[in-house]
Chains A and B, each alone.
Chain A
Amino acid sequence: MPERKPTLQTFLLIGLFVVLALLALFPFYCLALASLKPSKELLRYGLNIKLQPELLSLHNYSFIFSEGSAKYMGWYKNSAIVTIVYTVFCLLLSSMVGYGLAMYRFVGRNVLFVFVLLVMMIPVEMIMLPLYKQMIAFNLIDSYGGVILPFVVSPLPIFFFRQFAAGLPRDFLDAGRIDGCSEYGIFFKIFVPLMAPAFGAMAIVQSLASWNSFVWPLIVLNSGTKLTLPIGLASLVTPYGNNYDILIAGSVLAIVPIMAVFVFFQRYFVSGLTVGGVKG
């Protein structure tokens, strides 16, 4: 199709989206600005949108890396551990299930698939009480096992892997069998490499979900040293004044890894996060 000449409509559209993009990015500007201002200033006067260059310094950042805020670094480390362990097991188990649902015809397959869709729809918050009771019964309160275990086999990646595997040729399965590969060997040696793009998308989406997750870790974890980053940050917000020095700079550091990954792997984000809306 020949390129259309820019028209008035094009300029108006671009103008509209420039404004919207600035609005979307404005809170990030506010966060960055606040992280450079002294916490006393924020407590007393609120966040002034003006730059006020005489107030800006990197003091909050040097404080967060100092001995005085060792607990923050502890939360950061906890979140990193939980995110990595969760993502590795989630991908392994969910890809198996998704592959099984896509490649084999067996009794109960359709029922299971309906349950995948059902569990995907119902928010965790709605079943958190009985799950909480379950964790008490399993003695998993205040442990990372309790944070990870209930959600490690997750319906969204199962659905995603199933859709992806269903698009792969079944000939590979037959070829593997003729070569004497076991059913599991076929999965690990032939199909896992073929599903690499799906693993990429789900690695990003699931680690994002785990890094940001709040409600369930809030319920399961209760000792201060075990908190993950979002709960740790939330614990700094109190009615009696906020620890703004750690809170704001800590929030910036919490979103830095996400933004870095987003810049490099943008299309995985989009394909992975929109999975539910695309009919397959």
Chain B
Amino acid sequence: MRSNWLYSQRIAPYVFVLPFVLSLAVFFLYPMVSTLLMSFQEVLPGQTHFVGWSNYKSMADDASFYAALWNSTRYTFWTLLVLIPVPLVLAVLLNSARMKWSSLFRSALFVPTLTSVVVAGIVFRLVFGSLDDSVMNQFRHLLGFQTINWMGHSATGMVVLVVLATWRFAGINIVYFLSALQTIPGELYESAEIDGANTWHKFKSITLPLLKPVAIYVITISIYGGYSMFTESFMLWNGNRSPNDIGLTMIGLLYRNGVEQNNLGLGSAIGVALLGTTMILNLIALQFFGLFKKEE
């Protein structure tokens, strides 16, 4: 028999979860509280003091803030619009009985997920280069258009960002939807067929409602992911500086103010605003999808 209390069955579970409790406290809860506090402070070595709402005021007075918010919101909107329905439909097609070599195609579409944003950014800089011979400009010449500077304009820059996101994330979203599709029992479809349901009815009344939980998960991580996009823009625009802030994102703004200019108070205010925005958007999304009644 062990006499040490550490070995008792009552204490052991707490020892097992201790690493998480410590990590949660030191690297999550404390930073959350401190970012909230810092957003109301001027943080200087040795003389940090409260300054009320002034960080939030300077954030709201800064044109870059609106540029960043606009860019991050547009990016999130387009990635949601492309990266939920398209992978969902592709997963249904891959899962259909008429499809052959599904796992081979799934793997091919999944491979881009494995590349780092840095490498992906380096490739896309070449593909969407501004020179005459750059791949996508050659493609434009084929269609009778002229060479353009892809990263020099707000709209085409956004196109490149969304194409990059689609390339990197379509595969993983397909796999999310596929793994949910494979848990749907085949008998459901068989009995629907006996009742005379066609393909569209089966999709609408069986597949879609049963994919709802995984769709909600994908939407949630896409909203957070969209608003925390930074590296893509960092790579495509040579670091954190783009002409007229056309590539600036919320995290880019936070990085610029908080890290590059070492203004932790203002950076924290931006962080709090960002966290608040994404949480509210997620609650709205959940509420919106919760309102759809299951059609059973």
Chain B CB within 8 A of A132 CB: yes
Of all chain A residues, the one with the shortest Cβ separation from B170 is A24
Partner of A127, one of B16, B23, B35, B107: B35
Indicate whether A47 sits within 8 Å of B127 (C-beta atoms), given known contacts A100-B13, A112-B17, A234-B118.
yes
Residues of A within 8 A of B116 (CB): 211-212, 214, 230, 254-255
Indicate whether A27 sits within 8 Å of B120 (C-beta atoms), given known contacts A46-B132, A133-B34, A183-B9.
yes
Chain B CB within 8 A of A166 CB: no
Indicate whether A17 sits within 8 Å of B259 (C-beta atoms), given known contacts A46-B129, A230-B116, A237-B235.
no
A127-161 contact mask (Cβ, 8 Å, vs B): 1 or 0: 11111111000000000000001111100001000
In Å, the complex CA distance between A264 and B42 comes to 53
Indicate whether A47 sits within 8 Å of B134 (C-beta atoms), given known contacts A10-B99, A230-B118.
yes
Of all chain A residues, the one with the shortest Cβ separation from B106 is A270
In Å, the complex CA distance between A195 and B254 comes to 41
Indicate whether A10 sits within 8 Å of B217 (C-beta atoms), given known contacts A30-B123, A183-B7, A212-B117.
no
Chain A CB within 8 A of B196 CB: no
In Å, the complex CA distance between A256 and B10 comes to 48
Q: Which of A57-65, A80-88, A118-126 contacts B (4 or more CB under 8 A)?
A: A118-126
Most chain A beta carbons < 10 A, residue from B20, B93, B170: B20
Shortest Cβ distance from residue A131 to the other chain B in the assembled complex, whole angstroms = 5
Residues of B within 8 A of A239 (CB): 238-239, 241
Indicate whether A119 sits within 8 Å of B264 (C-beta atoms), given known contacts A45-B132, A132-B259, A208-B114.
no
List which B92-117 residues lie within 8 A (CB) of chain A. Answer: 93-94, 96-101, 105, 107-117
| Top-5 shortest CB links A-B | A100-B16, A46-B131, A104-B13, A46-B134, A130-B31
How many chain B residues sit at the interface, stated as a range, is 35 or more
Partner of A129, one of B113, B134, B225, B258: B258
In Å, the complex CA distance between A123 and B10 comes to 34
In Å, the complex CA distance between A46 and B151 comes to 14
Shortest Cβ distance from residue A270 to the other chain B in the assembled complex, whole angstroms = 6
CB–CB A238/B267 < 8 A: no
What are 25 inter-chain pairs, A to B, with CB distance below 8 A?
Answer: A6-B100, A10-B99, A20-B105, A21-B108, A44-B131, A45-B131, A48-B138, A93-B20, A100-B16, A104-B13, A106-B10, A125-B254, A126-B271, A127-B271, A129-B254, A130-B271, A153-B22, A214-B117, A237-B122, A251-B119, A270-B110, A273-B113, A274-B175, A278-B180, A278-B214
In Å, the complex CA distance between A234 and B96 comes to 42
Chain B CB within 8 A of A96 CB: yes
Residues of B within 8 A of A158 (CB): 20
In Å, the complex CA distance between A21 and B137 comes to 22
Shortest Cβ distance from residue A132 to the other chain B in the assembled complex, whole angstroms = 7
Residues of B within 8 A of A104 (CB): 12-13, 16
CB–CB A27/B167 < 8 A: yes
Residues of B within 8 A of A248 (CB): 122, 126
List which B231-285 residues lie within 8 A (CB) of chain A. Answer: 231, 234-235, 238-239, 241, 251, 254-255, 258-259, 264, 267-268, 271, 274-275, 278
How many A-B pairs fall under 8 Å by CB? Answer: 282
In Å, the complex CA distance between A274 and B26 comes to 28
Chain B CB within 8 A of A31 CB: yes
Residues of B within 8 A of A279 (CB): 213-214
In Å, the complex CA distance between A30 and B113 comes to 17
Shortest Cβ distance from residue A193 to the other chain B in the assembled complex, whole angstroms = 17
In Å, the complex CA distance between A44 and B133 comes to 9
In Å, the complex CA distance between A104 and B275 comes to 33
CB–CB A20/B258 < 8 A: no
